[in-house]
Amino acid sequence: MSILTVGTVAFDSIETPYGSVDKVIGGACTYISWAASYWYNEINLLSIIGEDFPEEEIKLLQKRGVSTEGLVRVKNQKSFYWSGKYHNDMNNRDTLITDLNVLAEFNPKLPTSYQNSSYIMLGNLTPAIQLSVLNQLINRPKLVVLDTMNYWMDTALDELHEVLKRVDVLTINDEEARQLSGERSLVKAAKRIHTFGPKYLIIKKGEHGALLFYEDQIFFAPGLPIPEVIDPTGAGDSFAGGLIGYLARTNEISFNNMKTAIIYGSTMASFCVENFSLTRLKNLTAEEIKTRLHQFRDLSSFETKELNAF
Amino acid sequence: MSILTVGTVAFDSIETPYGSVDKVIGGACTYISWAASYWYNEINLLSIIGEDFPEEEIKLLQKRGVSTEGLVRVKNQKSFYWSGKYHNDMNNRDTLITDLNVLAEFNPKLPTSYQNSSYIMLGNLTPAIQLSVLNQLINRPKLVVLDTMNYWMDTALDELHEVLKRVDVLTINDEEARQLSGERSLVKAAKRIHTFGPKYLIIKKGEHGALLFYEDQIFFAPGLPIPEVIDPTGAGDSFAGGLIGYLARTNEISFNNMKTAIIYGSTMASFCVENFSLTRLKNLTAEEIKTRLHQFRDLSSFETKELNAF
């Protein structure tokens, strides 16, 4: 039983109020794979890179249990490159450069060894590519999680709806949930989005935590206040990686287990933002992670004293 | 043992995406008193009104256990009046009109019967007035909670710091916490604000919940997603009222009890926003409140499965 992760493996240049880094390792699939690798070690990575992507980064992933058979390297071309600058509050950013490079011709072919993957994490990409990956799977996977963004709602809404029909869990932010549903209220937005396909809707709210909607039930996962958020890049992908890694490890799909999975996802995201690029995600100890999970448990627990109101 | 609530008793005109109301009952002290009255019924209200404020509103408060001996009515003058318009996302609003009217000459004198109040809720007002109230108390109260806003940080920072020295619990929003502390990180902001006086800092984040900082500990209270937020006016004051009402009822000051108090405060705020003015707060049943408290309990609880990370 394997996890399949699809998305970019790329370079980022990032400026935040704490500093800037140039052409560091990034990409949704990279963050997802690293975060998931702490919980599961049969991960099939599907992506594309250029000649410029360092071989040692691929070796590091392989050591974490990540198969890179589906990582295609294109000669004489460059890897996907994104450059962005965060505002003072870290909740908003401007994209400065998006160089698609090899991504422009990404038409993924699923290696035979990937075709039986059970837990599918479709990172933020063109809906057409996400759909093509689903079409290449031989068996109905146990779970399909999809990450997307407002850009695809603006430019490829029909294709996005096609993918959504086949998705179990959708992760988007609050503004995207409002845009996709046309509803201001997140409760109503969730009801509408459920009718598009996803039984589970996870609304990511950054430092404010995340909401999980399933049938008529809601779960509110807290955001752990971090002393110094250095760089939010990859936080959503680390969240997705922790989520799918935990779900594959426990191999149980239920509202209750999805709640805990979100806490595991939030935990990985909370490490990610503590430094630039994958710096923190590459060097976590089991002890550090356990301590952080305990912080999350304590963060939102309280005694329920039942008083009768006058 | 009594609660003392200080703040405006006023009229509001409000426009939200759901409609508008003209000259309805409002004011921090009104919301605080109503919300607190479901948990405690010895409440001393200290405020000022003009000739125009309806007597039946005062009678309704008295029926809820609110003493209005300290509610001064000024002849030939008008009550405080505020008018505002909410943006589409309900998280931001523009103030259209602020008519101080009687509030311009508010120089509260504590009735003798109020002087022994134990739980003090200083609603958002000029820091000089908040300080004057504290100076008129005979005994050191059990707890002083202060609500304030960026306006006083801009215009009366020195007086605000004087009050803060004598405050146990401060409630502000995240941007105000950053402004008051000069720190971007809320964790660092809290550490700095603790040195100003308040042992407990509550950061209100509206629909995103609230954070409680105490010593090195943090509690994250969820915000309950409401199907239709009609009017957020008074939510912060209803929160404060539920908080102080619960604390007075249980008469226990500790980090653990403060957490539960925040859930009670959030519960009252969640009702407040469901309609304009005090419509919802005036007509709650004990059963409705119990159900809502259970929703809050379920909202953020999850099973902690302990896995060892690879």
Secondary structure (H, E, C), chain A: CCEEEECCCEEEEEEECCEEEEEEEECHHHHHHHHHCCCCCCEEEEEEEECCCCHHHHHHHHHCCEEEEEEEEECCCCCCEEEEEECCCCCCEEEEEEECHHHHHCCCCCCHHHCCCCEEEECCCCHHHHHHHHHCCCCCCCEEEEECCHHHHHHCHHHHHHHHCCCCEEEEEHHHHHHHHCCCCHHHHHHHHHHHCCCEEEEECHHHCEEEEECCEEEEECCCCCCCCCCCCCHHHHHHHHHHHHHHHHCCCCHHHHHHHHHHHHHHHHHHCCCCCCCCHHHCCHHHHHHHHHHHHHHCCCCCCCCCCC
Question: In this complex, do A249 and B289 lie within 8 Å of one another by their Cβ atoms?
Answer: no
Question: In this complex, do A301 and B303 lie within 8 Å of one another by their Cβ atoms?
Answer: no
Q: How far apart are CA B63 and CA A94, in angstroms?
A: 55
Size of interface A-B (CB pairs under 8 A): 154
Please, is B58 exposed, middle or buried when counting C-beta atoms within 10 Å of its C-beta (0-12, 13-18, 19+)?
A: middle
Q: How far apart are CA A223 and CA A239, in angstroms?
A: 11
Q: How confident is the model at residue A232 (pLDDT cuts 50, 70, 90)?
A: very high
Average pLDDT over chain A, rounded to an integer = 96
Q: Which chain B residues are within 8 Å of A289, Cβ to Cβ?
A: 309
ipTM: 0.93
Instruction: Give tens-digit pLDDT for B56-91.
Output: 999 999 999 999 999 999 999 999 999 999 988 787
Nearest CB among A228, A260, A262 relative to B185 is that of A228
Instruction: Give tens-digit pLDDT for B231-262.
Output: 999 999 999 999 999 999 999 999 999 999 99
Looking at residue B39, its pLDDT comes to: 98
Q: Which chain B residues are within 8 Å of A224, Cβ to Cβ?
A: 218, 220
Average pLDDT over chain B, rounded to an integer = 96
Instruction: Give tens-digit pLDDT for B112-170.
Output: 999 999 999 999 999 999 999 999 999 999 999 999 999 999 999 999 999 999 999 99
Q: Which chain A residues are within 8 Å of B310, Cβ to Cβ?
A: 37-41, 64-65, 286
> What Cα–Cα distance (Å) separates residue B252 from each residue in B34, B199, B213, B243?
22, 15, 17, 12
Q: How confident is the model at residue A11 (pLDDT cuts 50, 70, 90)?
A: very high
Q: Taking the CA atoms of chain B, what radius of gyration do you get in angstroms?
A: 19
Looking at residue A102, its pLDDT comes to: 96
Say if residues A211 and A218 touch (Cβ distance below 8 Å). Answer: yes
Q: In what order do the strands lie in the sheet with B43-50?
A: B66-74, B43-50, B3-6, B119-122, B143-147, B169-173, B200-204, B210-214, B217-221
Looking at residue A92, its pLDDT comes to: 84
Looking at residue A304, its pLDDT comes to: 87
Mean pLDDT, range A135-154, rounded to an integer: 96
Q: How far apart are CA B233 and CA B12, in angstroms?
A: 9
Mean pLDDT, range A192-217, rounded to an integer: 97
Q: Taking the CA atoms of chain A, what radius of gyration do you get in angstroms?
A: 19
**Percent over 70 (pLDDT), chain A:** 100
Nearest CB among B64, B208, B308 relative to A286 is that of B308
Instruction: Give tens-digit pLDDT for A38-69.
Output: 999 999 999 999 999 999 999 999 999 999 99
**Residue B281 DSSP SS3:** helix
Nearest CA in chain B to A299: B219
Q: Which residue has the tokens 């407990």?
A: B200
Looking at residue B154, its pLDDT comes to: 97
**Percent over 90 (pLDDT), chain B:** 96
Nearest CB among B249, B290, B310 relative to A37 is that of B310
Phi, psi of A105 (to 5 degrees): -115, 20
Q: How far apart are CA A186 and CA A78, in angstroms?
A: 40
A231 pLDDT above the threshold of 80: yes
Mean pLDDT, range A211-233, rounded to an integer: 96
A264 pLDDT above the threshold of 80: yes
Looking at residue A238, its pLDDT comes to: 98
B304 pLDDT above the threshold of 90: no
A90 pLDDT above the threshold of 90: no
Say if residues A268 and A241 touch (Cβ distance below 8 Å). Answer: yes
Instruction: Give tens-digit pLDDT for B10-30.
Output: 999 999 999 999 999 999 999
Looking at residue A173, its pLDDT comes to: 96
Say if residues B108 and B48 touch (Cβ distance below 8 Å). Answer: yes
Looking at residue B88, its pLDDT comes to: 80
Looking at residue A8, its pLDDT comes to: 97
Contacts of A120 (CB under 8 A, 6+ apart): A3, A4, A6, A133, A134, A137, A141, A143, A144, A145
What are B310's two structure tokens? 């690879």
User: Which one of A66, A208, A252 makes the best mutation probe of the B interface by having the most chain B beta carbons within 10 Å?
Assistant: A208
pTM of the model as a whole: 0.95
